[in-house]
Chain A
Amino acid sequence: MGQVVLTDINKFYDSVHAVKGVNLQIRDKEFVVFVGPSGCGKTTTLRMIAGLEAISSGDISIDGQVVNELAPMDRDIAMVFQNYALYPHMSVYDNMAFGLKMRKFAKSDIATRVKDAAEVLGIGDLLKRKPRQLSGGQRQRVALGRAIVRHPRVFLFDEPLSNLDAKLRVQMRVELKKLHLRLGTTAIYVTHDQVEAMTLGDRVVVMKDGIVQQVGEPLELYNNPANRFVAGFIGSPAMNFAAVTMTDGNGKLTAKNSGLEIEVPPAQAERLRSRVGQQLTLGVRPENLHVAGDADPAGLTFASKVEVIEQLGSEILLDVRVGNDSMVAAVDPTTRTKVQESLRLAVNPERLHFFDADTEMAI
């Protein structure tokens, strides 16, 4: 009833390999988010699922039926576009009824469905207006309504919140989540905003340069990123990276560079012992750095120089210099510090990430 399987999907635009070997199984009722930077192939993949782009090789099947050759209107899907794509010459009611009219639904059925969807979205009193008389948020809701009335097997969203202002985006995110819980239809969502991915997705697919980097639940991607790209993409502010050399001093494994010397906690030391003498990339999130206190063991602290202080209210972002690297630390809002002051920072030992310097895979 809404299960989508992508098998070895590839897309070529002339000689450009835009989507490379994507394999994915989306369960019924699941909310899957494709996230990645511009040009990573996420929208192309979505459009191939919709049938708006031809598939160069591979299969897409919905509920077990291969749909490669099916026209978009026969795939029983509904799509919400980034710029809403409302029919400007039709009223809101006609916009929402259009799909049903094309499929020759009875007038009474159309009326019922449109009214129900309008009810759910809170646009019941806008039915007679034209799109140009609506605000951005209202237009977005009409676009959603147009998709809902079709009762499709799969919803496809192409960056639907990108054109909204920040506050409205947050509000609509919550509404989309509620809508999904209420309707229970499989949804495939494309965005470049990792916050949307984390908050909306049951599972998140991170893509870069046409290749799937990692698939998993949001927290899984946050806590156990498979490679440096995913680690740096998920989470805001982004994870700090530093090139370090693994050294063995007195049986203790440390990650060392010009600015810091961190003792590797026992849990990870086992895995990393074989890397002594090698250059690795150390990753630590800003929220896992705090101002060093007496309770912090010396092996988990390092010196830094404060360069910029960003007050957010709920926390303070400190842009600091550690040796040759810049790092960001998200610290307690009560921290008192000044620019150019030397500050000792401590890491949370359970939240250290190591990546191979060449392959960038997580170790």
Chain B
Amino acid sequence: MIEGAKWRRWAYFYLPMAFFLIFLLFPFYWMIITSFRPDGELYRPWNSVNYNPFWTWKPTLDHFRYLFEETLFLSWLWNTMFIALASTAISLVCGVFAGYALSRLNFPFAGSLGTGIFVTYLVPQTLLFIPLAEIIRNYKLGDTPWSLILTYPTFLIPFCTWLMMGYFKAVPKELEECARIDGASRWQAMIYIIIPVAIPGILSAGIFAFTLSWNEFIYALVFLSSPEQKTVPVGVTSELIRGDVFFWGALMAGALLGSIPVAIAYSFFVEHYVAGLTGSVKG
């Protein structure tokens, strides 16, 4: 901690931290305030009477009502949840096995294969959506959740593999060797020993994958067209921004509600998440 005079603590710690917190949390604050403001306050110019940007004295639930009644927000929420969970599941399964194989098994071309997987991660989605759109069209997956569930793994699997590889490398080799001497086949050693020990890493990878899928925009925009199929990021922006008219209240309400599931997921798993990042496995 900062020793010495009180002013030091304020100057070097409290003030910077306060500034940092305000800077980080302000967007959320603005989102919340905007979603509860009545339309009358939202569409006034800044130099009108009684202009109060940071608080509202007449909070209203109209925007939330609009969101749930006039738009398909609940469908979007359901779609996004389904797609995110499914692609996370697929990517985790592939990532765990690939990470294990690349970190533990010595087979020919292991190095090049690993590098190959990471290189695919470097191709930007803004470029990849063009050829993928063609493929989606050929397989008639357009406008279905499967167009996303099958394309999200293109960037989720390399990421999960990379994370799991690093994590498996931190698990001591002796643990597996001991299991092998004890009588476990490689498969049994993996199921009973390695995966339970790697749970923090798997949770981190899962949370990352879930967040990436939830917030993904461009593939969802390109591959989905009908409003019932849309995900939250796409639905909120395409339905609530009509031409140059921004339905700010409902927009912010949608954004707020859309970020809640991810926030909940993080808060429940934050302990495992940090342990997974620092890779703390002690024998």
Interface residues of chain A, those whose CB is within 8 Å of chain B, are 50-52, 71-73, 77-79, 81-89, 98-99, 102-103, 131-132, 146, 150
Contacts and interface: CB of A to CB of B under 8 A. Distances in A.
Given A83-B172, A83-B174, A98-B192, A88 B181 contact: no
B181 A72 contact: yes
B281 A103 contact: no
A86 B177 contact: no
Given A98-B192, A132-B282, A85 B182 contact: no
30 contacts: A50-B181, A51-B181, A52-B180, A72-B177, A73-B183, A73-B184, A79-B178, A79-B181, A82-B174, A83-B172, A83-B283, A84-B283, A85-B177, A85-B178, A85-B283, A87-B179, A87-B197, A88-B197, A88-B282, A89-B197, A98-B182, A98-B184, A99-B182, A99-B183, A102-B179, A102-B182, A102-B183, A103-B183, A131-B283, A132-B282
A336 B257 CA distance: 86
Interface of B: 172, 174-175, 177-184, 188, 192-193, 196-197, 199, 281-283
A159 B181 CA distance: 17
B175 A87 contact: yes
Contacts of A85: 172, 174-175, 177-178, 283
Interface of B is mostly: helix
Contacts of B180: 52, 71-73
Contacts of A77: 181
A146 B282 CA distance: 18
A106 to B, nearest CB: 15
Nearest to A103: B183
B272 to A, nearest CB: 13
Contacts of B193: 87
A88 B182 contact: no
A82 B175 CA distance: 11
A146 B283 contact: no
Contacts of B283: 83-86, 88, 131
Nearest to A104: B183
A83 B282 CA distance: 10
A73 B174 contact: no
B44 to A, nearest CB: 59
A102 B186 CA distance: 12
A146 B174 CA distance: 14
Contacts of A79: 177-178, 181
Contacts of B281: 88
B282 A78 contact: no
B180 to A, nearest CB: 5
A331 B144 CA distance: 89
A81 B181 CA distance: 11
Contacts of A102: 179, 182-184, 188
A268 to B, nearest CB: 48
Contacts of B282: 88, 132
Nearest to A105: B183
Contacts of A52: 177, 180-181
Contacts of B197: 87-89
B175 A146 contact: no
B211 to A, nearest CB: 26
Given A84-B283, A146-B178, 8 more contacts: A72-B177, A83-B174, A85-B283, A87-B193, A88-B283, A98-B184, A132-B282, A150-B182
Nearest to A131: B283
B181 A73 contact: yes
B280 to A, nearest CB: 10
Contacts of B182: 73, 98-99, 102, 146, 150
Contacts of B196: 89
